[in-house]
């Protein structure tokens, strides 16, 4: 049944009709009435960010952890340009969110904040959807949500400010998203792929972010082949608990796992685009057969051209391959019978020694892996510290691992940790960030985490420098002084913003901080003081 609403009320109602409970954002003159209606009229929750880009990052992590479409809102002009890096992060990560962006009134082209918002959005690679008129609001909102899910990227819904107070007839509109499988593999290429798999003596199954819904099918196929399982970083945790899971494939592998991959003769890749870090720039894929399965044609052949490419649903293809292997009575490879999984998953042990006034980073990570809550959601910022975290910290499943490195930016972790925490309110969120990343984007949103009452543990890898640049100067025997900083006490900052803070300069300090976590009542920050000359190098 239709009813008469102001345009701003219709937008809020249309968003709520899509079962949106939480709206991240920052209010301005082009979206403030819509936000107010979402809260007061529709019973939604608004999470105010300190920076516009933060609201998009929060929505991205919320979408990743919850499996729903994340929603954020900003006003026009500079508010939208402040979202460029975050939007690009979402595009590169294939994360479905809707950004409700106000737009300057068309009748005022010389407005101080007027820009061509369509071109800004296009430059980020996000989708753009124009709100056409008050009478089409429900359809326009539905179209934005539909596109975000089907295109698997952020979609910006452009909302002209000049009709927010116009009245219009509103009738709910929801569009069914096509969720049927993308197709079943068949034909000559499937036959070739099965032949390669059947003849392999050392096969290995690799799963990426496009395969996280096919866990059981892939395990069944791997067990039938007696093949070990591995994942890309984006699928970390997918095979958690399986006896032949060798964890991350590529430059983040353990030395023993890297050698195992190099010795395999057939890699069956499901839902991964095989970028340079996964393949170690092609080195790991030499002298072996490569079979690539993905529902997205653009994922095939980006890094290297496979011996067989199947554009098909990952889960159904795994079942199809298994069926024909059984029909042909192909014997298992026996590959896993040779493996010592403890050796394959053991990362090099580091000395716990370091200079006075510092904590050894790898030692701290191993201790935190032992003591942090096991049901955690793990979030990582960008930067050179994160590769060791990805390798040494476990997660129960891929949705519990939020990697903010799709665009190679730093300073996005705290914001995404907030979104993750609101998507999983009954679970602790653990964020690892470098000191530069925290200063860039985390310090201004720690207060937001406190205000939202999140169970958040922030661990700062603090070498008082921009580490990636510091090491380049050192390698060339140059003075790294320009990369070094005298930051404030992050523990003091955390306390001043309403949280808890702990400085760690020794193993004893680390144990005290770990003990304090048992009685935490809100966001906690642990500041690990690291020697910039004694930090592991990036593994990518």
Nearest partner of 200 among 8, 334, 66, judged by Cα: 334
How high is the pLDDT of residue 12? 98
Percentage of residues in the chain with pLDDT exceeding 70? 98
> 420 - beta bridge partners?
none
Q: Which residue has the higher pLDDT, 491 or 481?
A: 491
What is the model's pLDDT at position 540? 67
What's the pLDDT tens digit per position in 273-324? 998 889 999 999 999 999 999 988 888 887 788 999 999 999 999 999 999 9
Question: What pLDDT was estimated at residue 181?
Answer: 59
| 34 pLDDT more than 70 | yes
Show the domains of the chain with their CATH numbers: 3-170 (3.40.50.970), 188-344 (3.40.50.1220), 361-529 (3.40.50.970)
Of 112-126, 178-192, 384-398, 476-490, least confident by mean pLDDT is: 178-192
pLDDT value at residue 298: 86
**262-281: average pLDDT:** 93
- Enter the pTM of the model: 0.94
pLDDT at 275 (0 to 100) = 87
pLDDT of residue 349: 78
Answer whether 127's CB lies under 8 Å from 97's CB. no
* Predicted pLDDT at 177: 82
pLDDT confidence of residue 538: 65
* pLDDT higher than 70, residue 539: no
**Span 258-282, average pLDDT:** 93
- The confidence band for 158, taking pLDDT boundaries of 50, 70 and 90, is very high
The Cβ-side half-sphere exposure at 61, using a 13 Å CA radius, reads 32
Phi-psi region of 110 (alpha: psi -120 to 50; beta: other; left: phi over 0): alpha
Question: What pLDDT sits at residue 468?
Answer: 76
pLDDT of residue 475: 85
Q: pLDDT tens digit string along 121-134? A: 999 999 999 999 99
- Cα angle for residues 64, 70, 75 (degrees, 5° grid): 140
Provide the CB-side half-sphere exposure for 4 (13 A, CA): 3
Average predicted confidence (pLDDT) for the chain:
93
Q: At 403, give phi and psi (nearest 5°).
A: -105, 120
Question: Which residues make beta-bridge pairs with 194?
Answer: none
């Amino acid at each position: 049944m239709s009813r008469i609403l102001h345009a701003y009320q219709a937008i809020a109602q249309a968003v709520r009709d899509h079962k949106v409970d939480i709206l991240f954002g920052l209010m301005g003159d082009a979206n403030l009435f819509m936000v107010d209606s979402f809260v007061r009229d529709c019973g939604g929750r608004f999470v105010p960010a300190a920076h516009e880009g933060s609201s998009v990052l929060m929505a991205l992590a919320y979408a990743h952890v919850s499996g729903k479409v994340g929603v954020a809102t900003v006003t026009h002009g500079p508010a939208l340009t402040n979202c460029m890096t975050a939007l690009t992060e979402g595009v590169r990560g294939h994360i479905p969110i809707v950004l409700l962006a106000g737009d300057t009134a068309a009748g005022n082209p010389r407005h101080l904040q007027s820009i061509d918002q369509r071109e800004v959005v296009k430059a980020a690679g996000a989708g753009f959807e124009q709100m056409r008129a008050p009478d089409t609001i429900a359809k326009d909102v539905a179209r934005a949500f539909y596109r975000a899910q089907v295109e698997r990227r952020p979609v910006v819904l452009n909302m002209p400010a000049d009709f927010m107070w116009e009245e219009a007839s509103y009738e709910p509109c929801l569009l069914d998203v096509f969720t049927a499988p993308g197709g079943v593999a068949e034909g000559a290429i499937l036959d070739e792929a099965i032949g390669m798999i059947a003849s392999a003596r050392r096969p290995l199954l690799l799963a990426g972010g496009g395969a996280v819904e096919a866990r059981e099918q892939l395990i069944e196929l791997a067990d039938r082949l007696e093949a070990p399982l591995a994942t890309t970083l984006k699928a970390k945790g997918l095979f958690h608990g399986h006896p032949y899971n060798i964890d991350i494939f590529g430059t983040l592998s353990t030395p023993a796992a890297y050698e195992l991959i190099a010795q395999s003769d057939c890699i069956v890749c499901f839902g991964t685009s095989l970028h340079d870090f996964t393949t170690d720039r092609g080195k790991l894929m030499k002298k072996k057969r490569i079979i690539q399965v993905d529902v997205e044609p653009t994922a095939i052949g980006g890094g290297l051209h496979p011996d067989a490419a199947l554009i098909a649903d990952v889960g159904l293809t795994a079942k199809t391959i298994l069926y024909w292997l059984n029909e042909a009575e192909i014997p298992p490879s026996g590959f896993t019978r040779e493996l010592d999984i403890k050796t394959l998953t053991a990362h090099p042990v580091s000395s716990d020694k370091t200079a006075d006034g510092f904590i050894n980073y790898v030692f701290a990570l191993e201790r935190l892996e032992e003591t942090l809550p096991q049901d955690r959601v793990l979030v990582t910022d960008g930067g050179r510290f994160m590769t060791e975290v990805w390798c040494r910290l476990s997660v129960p499943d891929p949705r519990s691992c939020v990697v903010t490195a799709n665009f190679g930016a730093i300073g996005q972790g705290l914001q995404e940790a907030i979104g993750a925490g609101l998507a999983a309110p009954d679970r602790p969120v653990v964020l690892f960030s470098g000191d530069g990343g925290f200063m860039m984007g985390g310090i201004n949103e720690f207060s937001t985490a406190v205000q939202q009452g999140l169970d958040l543990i922030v661990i700062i890898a603090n070498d008082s420098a921009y580490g990636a640049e510091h090491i380049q100067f050192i390698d060339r025997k140059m003075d790294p002084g320009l990369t070094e900083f005298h930051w404030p006490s992050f523990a003091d900052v955390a306390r001043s913003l309403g949280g808890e803070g702990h400085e760690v300069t020794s193993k004893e300090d680390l144990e005290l901080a770990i003990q304090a976590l048992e009685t935490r009542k809100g966001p906690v920050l642990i500041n690990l003081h690291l020697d910039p000359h004694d930090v592991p190098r990036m593994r990518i």
